[in-house]
Amino acid sequence: MGKTVIIGGVAGGASCAARLRRLDENAEIVLLERGEYVSYANCGLPYHVGDVIKSRDRLLVQTPEAMRKKYRVDVRVKNEAVSIDRAEKTVSVKNLATGELYRESYDTLVLSTGSSPLRPPIPGIDSPRIKTLWTVPDTDDIRALVRGGGVRKAAVIGGGFIGLEMAENLRHAGLEVSVIEMLDQVMAPLDYEMAQMLHENIAQNGVTLHLGDGVSSFADDGRSVTVTLKSGKTVEADLVILSIGVRPNGELAKGAGLAVNQRGGVVVDETLRTSDPDIFAVGDVIEVVDFVSGGPAMIPLAGPANKQGRIAADNIAGGRETYKGTQGTSVAKVFDLTAASTGANEKTLLNRGYKRGVEYESLIITQNSHASYYPGAAPMTLKLLFSTDGQKLYGAQIVGKDGVDKRIDTLSTVMRLGGGIDALKELELAYAPPYSSAKDPVNMAGYTAENVLRGVVRFCSWDAVENTPGAVLLDVREDAEVTTFALPGAKHIPLGALRDRMAELDKDSRIITFCTIGVRSYNAARILMQSGFSDVWLYPAGTRFYRSTHYGEYGVTRIGAAPVSDSGHAVDPAGPVPCIRLDCSGMQCPCPIMKVFEAVKEMKAGELLEVSTSDPGFVRDIDAWCRRTGNTLAAACRCENGYIATIKKGDGAASPP
């Protein structure tokens, strides 16, 4: 194997070094890192800023000293590779502590130089109050500012993974937070309608969103920064976090004459060799193959970087391992929700020229994280994109509270192994009430996709209400549910009465069926389709999803935090004690609202009802129900196991549904 020099000691570089040592105890391995740290948990940095991860040491996966002792790797931190001489097979290195320049020979070279956060030439961007979060020292700097007490307002520029994680953690630290995003949505891997659920919850948690509005300039007056947006709006902040994307650190490779793409990403073959067979490259700096399309892509993720480091090590040691592409599987915590995706989204398919109904189909369903009768079940909304022959999965997205990660991992695995809709139906997945349902959400996605392909059900688009004038909106929820939210202009016929009242509907009209999450409306659609109605469509995931995708039209109910007793109940020492407590955790519609309705009927004016739930959407629903029925939502707060709403009977003027 000879001597291997690895440039870059985080993720791919550290993984490569450790694997090389395991394969060859006698190999000479030199690891050059221009920073102070190697193998640190950069994905955990935002959580240390917010004090969720309290110990700084827990971010350091391996120290230079530990790598030297455990793996006998010559680790040199604060040593920056400045150029490569391919003919001589040497690297020019600068010792940043002493300023010394020296040359290091290699037999095999590995580039793991990563990427760097973008800082575009925006006027005022050099203000010391404008920070990026990319390294451990960045974290130390921002954490010191936040905990020093002089920062009250923060502006996060960019709504990607790091931007949203920073927004959440800055809010957790007690700051007023604004998120500014040039696109019309956060979290670009999601489609717009799925991102709307994040927008709603971000707003519920008190963060101000500025979407579809880029930054024009920054102005630092010595006390704070004024962020001027392209729309002319201004945002005042004591601290600004830049999180607007990354660029590959490909300058070293380009200077050495290696093949790079237009963005500066290093071009590699399937074995991760560059255009020079003695030089490998891994991680954020390389151009990868998009697993779905087969085309080139830049997808900077920690999981692929670590896998690539291992593959490169195997090949350096004489193996023949190949990297078969990146799916872009990712997950992020965004306040109360978890957002995850794998493969292509619908925007990407459309940009590639795919036509819905010709090359692909899509569906959106809502399922509980586990059996609804077991406490703590929470809904998740799943979007699936698949070929019209059912043989290929193009991508999936999930937004929910619990169980999102294992479902996206299952879908990602099926995609990686070449499975289609039949595979989703046939998967035998572990079931017990605390963990799943007998029909797991992934199975349900397969069953629903089969129904779509067979013509058993037709989903309309999330914006069909405004884009299908003249359609009959058929709401099959119960009367009490309609008090939480009524679709404008909808025809209301509860599912149980539909067969008897079918004559009220025109068989020649387009009908779009709704319920709360889409199950009863599917049953309604089947009744109509088998009764001579030929133009019946199902609204995806019901009125819950409709309200989230249109949350800006209906307002946002803030979710607060309140002290909670050991028994799980809200505590207000100065306030009255609720006369009734309802546990609606995991209940499916229409049970929670019906239970509240029945309980309030038996209460006296002024008495309190406390309702606990695992569904974040219930807080919004109960707020609307109170306003429509003349009752008062006294409090809506988050607790360890979900949410608690306290309802006071009366004192509110009822508004019509």
By annotation, the residues acting in catalysis are 43
Which amino acid is located at 650 in the chain? G
Cis before 304? omega within 30 = no
**The CA-based dihedral angle spanning residues 39, 43, 48, 49, taken in that order and rounded to the nearest 10 degrees:** 120
Residue 433: both structure tokens together: 């009430």
DSSP 21: H
Q: How far is CA 347 from CA 194, 378, 575, 598, in A?
A: 12, 28, 50, 45
DSSP 39: S
Q: Which residue has the tokens 């190949």?
A: 322
Q: Which residue has the tokens 């606990």?
A: 612
CB-based burial, 56-95: b 16+ in 10 Å, e otherwise = eeebbbbbbeebeeebebebbbebbbeebeeeebbbebbe
- Closest alpha carbon to 363 in 286, 465, 442: 442
Q: How far is CA 39 from CA 133, 141, 227, 482, 622, in A?
A: 16, 20, 35, 54, 47
Residue 301: both structure tokens together: 């993720």
Q: Sign of the C-alpha dihedral, residues 281, 282, 287, 293?
A: positive
Write the DSSP assignment of 335-373 as a string of letters.
TTEEEEEEE--HHHHHHTT--BTTTEEEEEEEEESS-TT
347 - beta bridge partners? none
Q: How far is CA 597 from CA 109, 118, 542, 579, in A?
A: 70, 53, 21, 15
